[in-house]
Structure formats: structure tokens, C-alpha cells
Structure 1
Amino acid sequence: MQAFAWMGAGMSRASLFTHLLLALVAGLLVWVFQDARMAAAVAEVQLQASDYRLQVTEEKRSSDRRTYQTAQAIHLSYQEALNDSLKEQARLAGAAAAAQRNAGRLRDQLRDADVRIATASAAAVRDYAATANQLLGQCSDRYTELAAKADGHALDARTCRAAWPVMALDP
């Protein structure tokens, strides 16, 4: 205290109080400045998180849109294949009916041939012709059945291939 004796006791207390007050004000200012820095850092992190959420949302929307478009393309492809199959089935049914009519005419011709052979001379020729007619008739029926089954199978195979989804890869 002797060092402060020349200033006087009142003066040293005021000076000490002023220094303490200045230190307190400086500490408060530092506190406010650090709080502002921390608030700015928190706001920056919140902005980055918001940007990230926005990016994820946009990517999800884009993915959902591509998924929807792919599903629509698959559905349209399936529907087109099904419609084509129905048209082809109708065409094949018409062809099968025409084949049945032709087979009926062939049977009639074979029956007429039986009558002609029956009035012919030799019994062996009649037996041979009758047997040949029966055989040809059976062959015609079986061929028509087989053709209808083969056409149906080919149509089913084409329908499956046409309806099978093909994924286009995005570049």
C-alpha cells in the first residue's frame, strides 16, 4: 500500500473499482461476442442440415418419378402385349375354323372317293382306299389339333416375351 500512498486511499479504491468494472465489461463483451459466434455456427449447421434434407427429398422425388415411369412403361408394354395377344388369338381362332372347314371338305372328298372305289372293280382296291381315307381323315384331324396347340403355344411365348419388362439404364 505504500506504493499507492502518494495517490491517496480514495483514489486507489476508485482505480481498483474502475479496473474491476472494466474487466467485468470486457468479460461481458467477450461473452456476448462468443455467444454471437456460437449462434452463427449453430445457424450454419442448421442451414447445412436443411440443405441436406432438401437434397435428399429431391433425390427421393426423382427416384419415385423414375420408378413410376418405369412401372407405367411396364404396364403399357404388358397391356400392348395382351391386346396383341387377344388380336392374334382371334386371328388364330379364325384360321382354326377355316382349317376345320377345309378338313370337313377333305372328309367329304374322301367319302366320295370311297363311293367311287366301292363301285370300282377289285375288292382289294376298295379296302385299300377305305383304309387310306380313314387314315387321311385321322391325320387331318390330328394335324388341325396340333396346329391349334402349336399356334396357342407360340402366341403364349410371344406374349411373355413382349410383356417381359425391359429396364432402360439411365446414363
Structure 2
Amino acid sequence: MLADRLPKLWLWLGVAALGAAGGWVANGWRLGQDIAQIKLTHTQEQAARDAGTFAVAQAITTNYQGALNASIQEQGRLAGAAAVATRNAGRLREQLTEADKRIATASAAAVREYAATANQLLGQCSQRYTELAAKADGHALDARVCRAAWPVN
């Protein structure tokens, strides 16, 4: 009797083993898909974060380059203005040299008039330099505030 049932028992055990193996394989496929989906989601999130970081870096770079270009243009303008000031200072030195020669042979009244005019001119220069110093101090203060307020990593 047991001998008659033994082939059926082996058959049922084989079917059960195949079913368990099939379930095991199917579950592996399902878990593999879940892992692949998690990896895909992670990769997409990382790509989105990287894109945001790149956009911020690109904006900073664009802003920096614009400021750098403006600074280069301003340096050119200032160099031109400095060249004009140097030429004007040279002409002024020449005029002062000529004035020294004329004063040596000028009358006392002409020397007094020249001295009064020179005093007025020096007074105006002193006032302008004082105004310029106040503006320079303001700019220096602005620069210190910007450096102090700039974020540090």
C-alpha cells in the first residue's frame, strides 16, 4: 500500500517543490523590480538636486563674470581719467614754472594780485580735497560693510 502511494507522494512533493521554487523566483523578480524602482527614484532625486546646485553655481558664476567685466571696463575708464589728470598736472607744472619766472620780474602790485589769486585757488583746492576725503571715507566704510556682511563658507 505504501509502495502504491509512494510515486504519487513523490509527484506531489515534486509539484510542491516546483511551486515553491517558482514562487521564490517570482518573488525575486518582484523584489528586483522594487530595488530597481528605488534606485531609479534615488537617481532622479539626485539628478534634481544636482541640477539645482548647478543652477545656483551657474547664477553665481554669471553674476561674478558680469561684475568682473564691469570692473575691467571701469579700470579702463579710470586709467583714461588718470592719463588726462597726469597730462593736466604736467601742464600745471609748466604754468607754475613760467609763473615763477614772471614773478621774478613782476611789479609789487602784480605779485600781490597773484598771491591773492593763489590763496583763493588753494582754498578751493582744500575744500575739494576735504569733500573728496569724505566721499572716500564713505566708500571705504561701504567696502568694509560689504566684506563683513559677505557670507563665509
- Superposed CA offset, 1:66-122 (max 9, x none): 33333233222211111111111211232334344555666748x75x94xx53439
Q: Does 1:119 align with 2:107?
A: yes
Equivalent in the alignment of 1:91: 77
Q: Does 1:18 align with 2:4?
A: yes
Equivalent in the alignment of 1:57: 43
RCO (CA 8 Å, sep 6+): is it higher in 1 or 2? 1
Equivalent in the alignment of 1:129: 116
Q: After TM superposition, give the deviation of residue 20 of structure 1 in Å.
A: 2.7
Q: Percent identity?
A: 40
What CA distance in whole angstroms lies between the structure 1 residues aligned with 2:81 and 2:20?
90
- Superposed CA offset, 1:131-159 (max 9, x none): 7278459749x93xx57x94xx68x95xx
TM-score, scaled relative to structure 2:
0.60
Structure 1 portions without partners, runs of 5+: 1-12, 166-171
Q: Rg larger in 1 or in 2?
A: 1
Alpha carbon RMSD of aligned pairs, Å? 4.4
Which letter maps to 2:77?
Answer: R
Equivalent in the alignment of 1:4: none
Structure 2 portions without partners, runs of 5+: none
TM-score, scaled relative to structure 1:
0.55
Length, aligned pairs only: 137
